[in-house]
Amino acid sequence: MELLTHLLHEDETWVGIGLLLFFVLVVYLKVPGAAAKALDDRSAKIQAALDEAQTLRDEATALLNSLRQQRAETERQAADMIASAEAEAQRLVAEAKAKLEEQIVRRTALADQRIKLAEQQAAQDVKSAAVELAAQAAEVLLAARLSGKKSDPLVDASIAEIATRLQ
């Protein structure tokens, strides 16, 4: 017993007993389980955050790929539109050239026709002037022939010839 009393007076003994009681109390109150549960909960939260971050990264990657595809499609459509516009412009240029050539041919034909009509009209005017001039000359000649005579010998001869033919 002396040993027990001596041990009870030692500070180290009380520190050991206190430490032992502390460990028993910690185990009794289930502190290691609570600590493990708290660590597990914290680990689960971190894992959930990591999973969410991975999901967000996957979604961002999918969105990036989608945008790249849309960009490529848009660029292809733009190239198609440019090619179509160039083809349309070439078609319009060719069509305009054809219409211009056709219009030039029509106008040339119309000008030729007008020139022909003008030539015909000029020829007719010349003939008309010649006929009129011939008539005036004939009138002047006949007037000069008949100026001293009562009848024209050609007219008298023509009347006599008609009379003989009619009989």
Listed in sequence order, the residues at least 6 apart from 145 whose beta carbon sits closer than 8 Å to its beta carbon are 152
Q: Could you tell me the CA-to-CA distances from 103 to 95, 97, 114, 115, 117 in Å, in that order?
A: 12, 10, 16, 18, 21
pLDDT value at residue 147: 67
Which segment of 30-39, 50-59, 89-98, 110-119 scores lowest on mean pLDDT?
A: 30-39
Q: What pLDDT is attached to residue 140?
A: 76
**70-99 per-position pLDDT tens digit:** 999 999 999 999 999 999 999 999 999 999
Does residue 151 have a pLDDT over 70?
A: no
pTM: 0.42
pLDDT averaged over the chain? 86
pLDDT at residue number 114? 94
pLDDT digits (tens, 9 = 90+) for 11-28: 888 898 899 998 888 888
In terms of average pLDDT, the best of 106-110, 143-147, 153-157 is: 106-110
CA 141 to each of CA 126, 138, 145, 150, 152: distance values in angstroms, whole numbers, following the listed order = 22, 5, 6, 15, 12
Would the pLDDT of 108 be above 60? yes
pLDDT of 148 over the 70 cut: no
Compute, in degrees rounded to 10, the torsion defined by CA atoms 54, 55, 61, 66. Answer: 180
HEC letters along 42-85: HHHHHHHHHHHHHHHHHHHHHHHHHHHHHHHHHHHHHHHHHHHH
Q: Which residue has the higher pLDDT, 3 or 124?
A: 124
Please determine, for residue 120, whether its predicted confidence score (pLDDT) is greater than 80. yes
pLDDT at 53 (0 to 100): 95
Structural tokens at position 8: 């009870």
